[in-house]
Amino acid sequence: MLYDRRTHRDFTRTPVSLNTLATLLSTVFGPVDFIDSGHGPVYRRTSPSGGSRQELDAYLGALNVDGLAPGWYHYNSLQHSVELLCDGFTPEEAAHLCADQDWAGDAAFLVVLAARLERMSVKYHTPRCYRVCLLNAGHLGQTFALTATALGLGPAQTGAFRDAALAQRCTLNNTGHTPLYVLAAGRPHPQPHEAPPPATLDAFRKAPLEAAASPSPGVPALNDKHSRFPQAPPQPA
């Protein structure tokens, strides 16, 4: 699955089934079990969570999901249900919200990871807790991408979005409760056009891999003969 994952920007118009979406959301955001954090019970997810505060909520922008009307929803991860926030969501709006990236409008749905900052700050009285929220969002993003891939979906993600407009759509105040990361998925196009092409010899001539892999002087490149990194494992055909 790790080697099959890639960022998709080309999707077919085939809708994603509600069942597939439900499996994805519960696997990534649902509770695994509950632990006693010393500040009351908290739940664990399939991703680690710095501070175990589960401060990140998932908001769903449904575009092309069989059995779910286009609109904005909050995913209630403890009840495994979606709560309608507002009706209607169009591909044009999805692209606009994602800083005019057209592929976002072709996805079957977006998932906005939004942080309830107070859930962190009540335990950690330091600005560093914001950094941990960002790290936690990255973990959930990777679990989302791998789970979507396993379900036959094409995952995507973006850090480029219109904060205030997106917050408004998700009914967030954008201060204490704010979007951090936008994930997306859809049925992958069998012949993607938007994917970067494989690097040719010319691309390697323009910028040798050593330079790309080791931008700082003195730091061994990944393929340096003194590197401590083992050879990359062969990829499946």
Q: Report in angstroms how near the CB of residue 150 gets to ligand FMN at its nearest.
A: 16
In terms of CB distance, is 7 or 37 closer to ligand FMN?
A: 7
Is residue 10 a contact point for ligand FMN (CB under 6 A)? no
* Locus of tokens 């976002």: 104
- Of 152 and 159, the one with the shorter C-beta distance to ligand FMN is 159
* 7 near ligand FMN, judged by CB under 6 A: yes
Cβ at position 222, least distance to ligand FMN in Å: 16
**Nearest Cα to Cα of residue 75 among 31, 107, 30, 117:** 30
Query: Contact between 23 and ligand FMN (CB under 6 A)?
Result: no
β-strands 65-66, 16-17 pairing = parallel
Residue 206 has φ and ψ, to the nearest 5°, of -65, -45
Extract the runs of DSSP E, i.e. beta strands, from the chain: 16-17, 33-36, 41-44, 56-62, 65-66, 71-76, 81-87, 109-116, 154-158, 177-186
Nearest to 177 by CA among 187, 159, 163, 156: 163
* Residue 9 CB, nearest approach to ligand FMN (Å): 6
For 31, the token pair is 């509770």
* Site residues (CB under 6 A) for ligand FMN, limited to 153-212: 157-160
| Minimal distance, residue 162 CB to ligand FMN, in Å | 12
139 binds ligand FMN (CB under 6 A): no
Q: What is the x/- site pattern for ligand FMN, positions 96-115, by CB under 6 A? A: -----x--------------
In whole angstroms, what is the distance from residue 33 CA to residue 28 CA? 13
Q: Is 143 in the site for ligand FMN (CB under 6 A)?
A: no
In whole angstroms, the minimum distance from the beta carbon of 200 to ligand FMN comes to 17
Altogether, the residues listed in the chain come to a count of 237
Report in angstroms how near the CB of residue 159 gets to ligand FMN at its nearest: 4
Integer Cα distance of 28 and 54 in angstroms: 12
Cβ proximity to ligand FMN, 12 vs 142, nearer residue: 142
- The DSSP code for 225 is T
**Per CB under 6 A, which region of 2-10, 51-59, 69-77, 110-118 contacts ligand FMN?**
2-10
Q: Report the interface residues with ligand FMN, using CB under 6 A.
A: 6-7, 9, 101, 157-160
